[in-house]
Amino acid sequence: MFIGFLVGLAGVIALDLVAIWPLHDVAGTASAAIAAGVGLVAVVAVRAARELWVAAAVVGVTLFAADLLDGTIEFDNLVPTVSMLCLAVLPALLGSLIVRGFRRMVTLELDRVLVQSTVSAPRYAVGMLASEELARLDLAAEQLLEGIASGATPLPLEPKLAQRSASLATELRLHLIEGRRETWLHHAITESEMLGRRVTLSDPGTLAGLLDPRQRDGLFSAVWLLAGEAGTKAAKQGRTLKLTLGPVAADRDMGPLHKVLVPITIETTGVARGRVDPATWDAIRRVGKHVDSMRAGSLRVEIECVADNPADS
């Protein structure tokens, strides 16, 4: 359909050029041909930006070539030619850039909203993707058991069906075991398109699960903002973020409050302190006391997070 649309625009341009050719003033008299270039704006939301740029470039080259062959271009007065090319090409280019930026912004915000839900998860839990897989396995197991209970599936099970049952049981056990080793922070990073590419998590003691909701929200917001800073145009040359939790140490100053001190270290690559969003520091303060330093031109933040001791709960 897009090819047919382009063919129609090409026909409009051709007919307009044929009609105005005897006037020997393409830049001053072209109308439908310019409108055809503007018509590309109608498909900026449904076609890739690269396709629109190529189509707009073809329109611009065609009009410029026609104006050049017409023999009326005066190189000391290129205003009509430049105006014609701008009117025909710029609307599609600007429209595609605006839609592309808006699409990127919506995708990023949607990614954050979906991953933000992991903040309220238990200490050990399965992620969104694993939940969908568990639902699929649960449905398959339910259908199998229902067939046996209703007599539709005779006993003993056929070899093929027995193998399928064993496979379902194995997959269920594996998912349940994984759910006992992965925290909300692990799922937030691995299931996020942005964080998964830029953040490395080291939490062998699954200490992220000890944080209360306020601390979790602060840590997630800080990591998101720092990862977003690492993802700017100037930071696309291998800039990353490493998040380390632990080893845990008992806080002697807490006394009878039964608290533990969870050290959290955030190491960035290529993120200067002066470029950090002020909201990042507010988020870090919600996690605990912090000390920041610069190493090799990159920001390093050490946080002392006081959390409940699970051994005393």
Distance of alpha carbon 277 from its chain centroid, rounded?
A: 19
Domain that holds residue 253: 197-312
**Tens-digit pLDDT profile for residues 2-52:** 889 899 999 999 999 999 888 888 888 889 999 999 999 999 988 888 999
Please report whether residue 137 resides in a domain: yes
Half-sphere exposure for 211 (CA within 13 Å, toward CB):
32
What DSSP state is assigned to residue 74?
Answer: B
* 100 pLDDT higher than 70: yes
Smallest CA-to-CA distance from 58 within 31, 30, 24, 33 is with 33
**pLDDT at res. 45:** 87
Indicate the number of domains in the chain.
3
Distance of alpha carbon 44 from its chain centroid, rounded?
A: 21
Please report whether residue 204 resides in a domain: yes
**Tens-digit pLDDT profile for residues 201-219:** 998 888 888 888 899 999 9
Quote the mean pLDDT of the chain. 82
* 234 pLDDT higher than 50: no
167 and 220 housed in the same domain: no
Please report whether residue 191 resides in a domain: no
What DSSP state is assigned to residue 269?
Answer: S
C-alpha 45/C-alpha 95 separation (Å) is 9
Q: Length of the chain, please? A: 313
Q: Please tell me the least confidently modeled range out of 83-87, 102-106, 118-122.
A: 118-122
**pLDDT at res. 219:** 93
**pLDDT at res. 165:** 77
135 and 169 housed in the same domain: yes
54 and 142 housed in the same domain: no
CATH of the domain at 227: 3.30.565.10
